[in-house]
Structure 1
Amino acid sequence: MEWSRRNIWCVILLTCLVFWVMLLVGLNAVA
């Protein structure tokens, strides 16, 4: 149980991180 929950949190954090990186890169490309 613990491991599956941690894995879910890791996936969520990685997804958010990738999303922010893509957003910043997109803004820099536009600017």
Structure 2
Amino acid sequence: MFERALHTKIVLIGDGGVGKTAFRRAWLSEG
């Protein structure tokens, strides 16, 4: 889970707002 969160964090920084939305969606989806 930590590895995935770290990778998502990098994508979040790269995509900005779009990445944030994707991160939030993935987080909610994982529960």
* TM-score under structure 2 length normalisation: 0.50
The structure with higher relative contact order (CA 8 Å, sep 6+) is 2
Gaps of 5+ in 1: 1-14
How many aligned positions are there? 17
In the other structure, the counterpart of 2:22 is: 22
In our comparison, the structure showing a higher alpha carbon Rg is 1
Gaps of 5+ in 2: 1-14
* TM-score under structure 1 length normalisation: 0.50
Aligned AA for 2:28? N
Percent identity of equivalent pairs: 6
